[in-house]
Chains A and B, each alone.
Chain A
Amino acid sequence: MRELAKSMVGFSWAVGLFGFQQLNKMMGTAVESPQVTAAQLDDVSRAAQRHLTADYSQQFEAGDTWQRRVIDALFDAASMQSFDPRAIASSMDPRPLMNDIDPRRMFESGIEMMQRPLDVLRTSPTTTTRPTAG
Chain B
Amino acid sequence: MDVRDLTKSALTLPWAISMFGVQQLANLVGARPSQRGLTGAASAFDSVSDAAAEQLDGWMKQTYKVGASVQGAAVDLMLLRAPEMNSSALMRMAAELQSGPLFQFIVKYGMPPVGWLDSFLVPRRDSEAVRQEFANKLYIISLVTQVHSALGLDTQSNPSLPAIIERAAAMETFPRLWATEGVGNYWGDQAWTRSGGIDPVGLLNDASTAALPPWSLTMLHAGIGMSFAKKVLAGLETTTPPEAVRSGIARFATLCRHSSRPGYTGAALESLGLATRTLYPNLVPVLDREIPSVDRTLHGYFWHGAGRAMYFDPMNMLPSVNAPWRAIRRLETEAPHPLAYRNALSGLSWAITVVNMRHPSVMEAFLRHHADVARANDAFGNGVASSLMMRYDTTRDDARIAPFIHNRPSDQAVAAAWQSLITLPCAEALRATYGELSQNGRLEELFHDADHS
Q: Enumerate chain A interface residues (CB-CB to B < 8 A).
A: 1-11, 13-15, 17-22, 26, 34-35, 37-53, 56, 59-60, 63-64, 67-68, 71-72, 75, 109, 112-114, 116-117, 120
Beta-carbon contact of B49 and A63 below 8 Å? no
Residue in A7, A45, A75 whose beta carbon sits within 8 Å of that of B46 in the complex: A7
A17 to B55, CA, bound (A): 10
- The A contact surface, by secondary structure, is helix
Q: Which of A17, A26, A75 contacts B64 (CB 8 A)?
A: A17
Contact assessment for A38 and B22 in the assembled complex, using a CB-CB cutoff below 8 Å:
no
A45 touches B13 (CB 8 A): yes
Interface residues in B, total, Cβ within 8 A: 58
Question: Is B29 part of the binding interface, using a Cβ–Cβ cutoff of 8 Å?
Answer: yes
Contact mask for chain B residues 42-70; partner A; CB cutoff 8 A; 1 contact, 0 none: 11111111111111110010011001100
Known contacts A51-B47, A116-B29: does B19 contact A18 (CB below 8 Å)? no
**Which B residues are within 8 Å of any A CB, using their own CB?**
1-13, 15-17, 19-20, 22-26, 29-32, 38-39, 41-57, 60, 63-64, 67-68, 71-72, 74-76, 79, 81
A51 contacts B24, C-beta separation under 8 Å? yes
B25 and A113 contact, CB distance less than 8 A: yes
Q: How far is the CA of A40 from the CA of B6 in the complex (A)?
A: 10
A91, B26: Cα distance in complex, Å: 31
Q: Distance in Å from the Cβ of B29 to the closest Cβ of chain A?
A: 5
Looking at chain B's contact residues, is the secondary structure mostly helix, strand, loop, or mixed? helix
Contact call B48/A51, Cβ cutoff below 8 A: yes
Partner of B12 from A9, A13, A41, A113 at Cβ < 8 Å:
A41
Q: In the bound complex, what is the Cα–Cα distance between A109 and B15 (angstroms)? A: 18
- Report yes or no: B71 in contact with A10, Cβ–Cβ below 8 A: yes
B12 A42 Cβ-Cβ under 8 A: yes
Q: 15 additional contacts, CB 8 Å, given A2-B76, A49-B19?
A: A3-B42, A11-B46, A11-B49, A13-B49, A34-B3, A34-B5, A44-B17, A47-B50, A47-B51, A47-B52, A49-B16, A52-B23, A64-B15, A71-B4, A71-B11
Specify which of A4, A53, A114 is in contact with B41 (CB 8 Å cutoff): A4
**Once the chains bind, are A2 and B81 in contact (CB under 8 Å)?**
yes
CB atoms of B68 and A10 under 8 A apart: yes
Q: Tell me the bound Cα distance from A65 to B426 in angstroms.
A: 78
Taking a contact as CB atoms closer than 8 A, the residue among B22, B55, B60 that contacts A56 in the complex is B22
Do B41 and A14 have beta carbons less than 8 Å apart? no
Contact among A4, A14, A109 for B68, CB-based, below 8 A: A14
Minimum CB–CB distance from A94 to chain B (whole Å) comes to 14
In the complex the two chains form, what is the Cα distance from A68 to B8 in whole Å? Answer: 6
Give A67 to B3 CA distance when docked, in angstroms: 15
Contacts of B44 in A (CB 8 A): 51
Please give, as numbers and ranges, the residues of chain A lying within 8 Å of B29 by CB-CB distance: 113-114, 116-117
Closest to A8 in B: B45
Q: Which residue of A lies closest to B79 (CB)?
A: A2
Question: Which residue, B1, B31, B51, B81, has most C-beta atoms of chain A within 10 A?
Answer: B51
- Contacts A34-B5, A44-B52, A72-B4; A13 near B17 (Cβ below 8 A): no
Given known A-B contacts A44-B52, A51-B24, A19 and B13 have beta carbons under 8 A apart: yes
Indicate which residue in A50, A68, A116 contacts B30 across the interface (CB closer than 8 Å). A116
* With A38-B1, A42-B12, A63-B15: A52-B20 Cβ-Cβ less than 8 Å: yes
- B49 A7 Cβ-Cβ under 8 A: yes
